[in-house]
């Protein structure tokens, strides 16, 4: 079972930090003009062993498309580094 969480504190309380935590991001487009950067942290729930995912998003337009790498770095600093997460692929 997988569960997606949108509150970081809930993810932080539930994730088993003794097991690896992984992060990755991808871009999603809508109508070729609007973009969403989707950042995810993957971990194991310490109470039941299921996969839990924390998701954060940054929405932008094509004009702000080049901002995504810096937005990704901000997400890594804010969410991934405090948990010792390992880096995954940057998916375009």
Query: Residue 62 has what pLDDT?
Result: 79
Sequential pLDDT tens for the chain (92 residues): 899 999 999 999 999 999 999 999 998 888 878 889 999 999 999 999 999 999 999 988 877 777 788 899 999 999 999 999 999 865 54
Query: Residue 30 has what pLDDT?
Result: 83
Q: For residues 74 and 1, what is the distance between their CA atoms, to the nearest angstrom?
A: 29
Helical spans, DSSP H, in 1-90: 8-14, 68-75
């Amino acid at each position: 079972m997988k569960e997606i969480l949108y509150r970081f504190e809930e993810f932080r309380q539930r994730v088993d930090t003794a097991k690896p935590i992984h992060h990755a991001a991808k871009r999603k487009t809508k109508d070729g003009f609007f973009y969403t950067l989707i950042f995810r942290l993957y971990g194991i729930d310490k109470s039941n062993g299921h996969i839990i995912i924390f998701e954060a998003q940054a929405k932008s337009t094509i004009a702000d498309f080049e901002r995504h790498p810096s937005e990704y770095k901000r997400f890594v600093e804010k969410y991934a580094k405090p948990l010792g997460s390992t880096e995954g692929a940057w998916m375009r």
